[in-house]
Structure 1
Amino acid sequence: MATTAKKLHTLNRQHYSHVTKINGIDLYYEYYQNANAKETLFLIHGFLASSFSFRYIIPKLMNQYQIIAVDIPPFGKSGKDLKFTFSYENIAATFIQLIKKLKLNKVSLVGHSMGGQIGLYMALQQPEIFDKIILFASSGYLQQVRKSLIFLSYLPFAHKFVKKKLIESGGVEGNLKKVVYDKNQITEDMIQGYLEPYIEDDAIFHALAKFSRDREGDLSKKDLNKIQTPCLLVWGKEDQIVPLQVGKQLNIDLPNSNLIVLDKTGHLTPEERPEETCRLIQKFIDG
């Protein structure tokens, strides 16, 4: 287990980067402590991303809230151990264990895309832990992958197939062009930040092959109806990855939810509209 820490230049706020063993997996998270904060934000990124995707909003929120930004296994700097079950249910349970280990109180979930669905699993498992939920373009109503692909994931060359598919889709830069409305927002630093976890070795591709068969699908309408935690849904009107219709249906199926739609915005809301993202978070949490 490795742990690193970096202290900020204030007595009341500190920033620590940790890798700790939780539920049998190395879990990477960034902890922005704030002794004056009354609320903790638990940030969960989307598919093929990492806590890097929150780099614009964390500096704008850390003066008001305590923040945890976690890398979903096997993404980012979190573990890729193939003994781990990469199901939403198990990942959600792992994150809840982290929250309990850190003894966090008054926690609000902030999830983007797939991270939103994991957040909903967390709220379903232990609703008493969470004050509010904020979902940016959350995945919804996806079924488990086809049985043929599950079978393929067991084959020795499965990781090569996953890597080939990523390359054929245009690589990191090609995928970024699909998730943002304004392509001019894509910078070299942005490309490198998303590319970094995929260039060191093939461990991530082996883990992604297993992830594809472990993922059990999004929550059903019946389960969504059980979640009473106040929930804010934020969608980009031009989202081509998780269409606005998914947000509208979630707004129907989550009994205590409200939907806000942002014009000229794609799928990557926290990066495309960081100021508006922070304003919506603050208004919902504090209001």
Structure 2
Amino acid sequence: MTDKLKTEGKFTYAEAGEGPAIIVLHGLMGALSNFESTFNHFSKNGYTVLIPELPLYSLPLLKTNVKNLAKYLKEFLEYKKIDKAILLGNSLGGHIGLYFTKHYQEKVSALVLTGSSGLYEKAMGDTFPKRGNYQYIEEKTRAVFYNPEIGTKEMVDDVYKIVNDRHSVIRTLAIAKSAIRHNMAGDLPKMKQPTCLIWGKQDTVTPPEVAEDFHKLLPNSDLFWVDECGHAAMMEQPEEFNKILQDWLTSRNI
């Protein structure tokens, strides 16, 4: 998706389509390209889709946390003059969306969470591959998926680069710790927005019981399962993911 990226001021993002805004929030190890199918589908079907590149490794260390990433999202919405948006997040991206919603409910028309952190304290810390040889990193990266072939060499190379760079590792650990600190369990019952939970049945990072807990705690949520699917449904089963979300948005008139 690098050919679709544009940089304006401090924001680098992809944007396409016309209609209500869907803001896509990527995860800690998630490239923007993970959402390419979703980006293409919804930008051609009545929505403006925007994927900002989150400053995971460029904020000052003391500001590298869920709170400041949510603040960055607020600044991005203000820059794009978007008053209200659908937030779609995977893993850490879902957590940032939830934290943002807690503080700016009036700016969120709906939430879409897939493999989101925010409840399960091991969602980040235990799955971040520690430094090691390439084969170890490859195994850990591919284990995120039901079908390990989804974990391409390019993806493994990106993770290997991150975990062997001290600057990136320190910030990754800071984000993981802040994700644990900002557990959302007490906040979810107050979030009245329509929420679509799309979860891989074989997700080992945020297992199925995490989705069920989100569903119980979010008062206006619908839960959908995707079979033969791990932590990133929009990558592993993109057509099914897009159909579930399209049907849900239509049924909710969003």
Q: Same fold (TM over 0.5)?
A: yes
Structure 1 residue aligned with 2:151, among 186, 191, 201?
186
Larger Rg: 1
Matched, 1:235 2:199: yes
Does the 8 Å CA contact 2:95/2:117 hold for their aligned counterparts? Answer: yes
What is the TM-score of this pair, normalised by structure 2? 0.84
SS at 2:13 equivalent: strand
Shift of 1:80: 4.2
Summarize the Cα distance change of 1:250–1:239 in structure 2 as closer, same or farther, 3 Å threshold.
same
SS at 2:111 equivalent: strand
CA–CA distance in 1 between the matches of 2:8 and 2:67?
21
What's the counterpart of residue 156 of structure 1?
none
What's the counterpart of residue 13 of structure 2?
29
Matched, 1:41 2:25: no
CA–CA distance in 2 between the matches of 1:130 and 1:164?
33
CA–CA distance in 1 between the matches of 2:197 and 2:129?
34
Summarize the Cα distance change of 1:168–1:248 in structure 2 as closer, same or farther, 3 Å threshold.
farther
Matched, 1:96 2:92: no
- The letter for the 2-side match of 1:29 is Y
Does the 8 Å CA contact 2:194/2:220 hold for their aligned counterparts? Answer: yes
Structure 1 residue aligned with 2:48, among 56, 66, 73?
66
Q: 5+ unaligned residues in a row in structure 2: which ranges?
A: none
What's the counterpart of residue 173 of structure 1?
138
Summarize the Cα distance change of 1:101–1:228 in structure 2 as closer, same or farther, 3 Å threshold.
same
Structure 2 residue aligned with 1:225, among 184, 189, 192?
189
Q: How does 1:80-91 map to 2 (within 5 A)?
A: 80-83=59-62, 85-91=63-69
Does the 8 Å CA contact 1:144/1:217 hold for their aligned counterparts? Answer: no
CA–CA distance in 2 between the matches of 1:197 and 1:104?
35
CA–CA distance in 2 between the matches of 1:238 and 1:199?
25
SS at 2:130 equivalent: helix
Shift of 1:144: 9.7
- The letter for the 2-side match of 1:63 is K
Deviates more, 1:51-60 or 1:112-121: 51-60
Structure 2 residue aligned with 1:272, among 220, 233, 236?
236
Does the 8 Å CA contact 1:143/1:218 hold for their aligned counterparts? Answer: no
Matched, 1:250 2:217: no
Sequence identity percentage: 23
- The letter for the 1-side match of 2:56 is P
Q: 5+ unaligned residues in a row in structure 1: which ranges?
A: 7-14, 22-26, 150-162
Does the 8 Å CA contact 2:28/2:56 hold for their aligned counterparts? Answer: no
CA–CA distance in 2 between the matches of 1:196 and 1:139?
22
Q: How many residues align?
A: 246
What's the counterpart of residue 55 of structure 1?
36
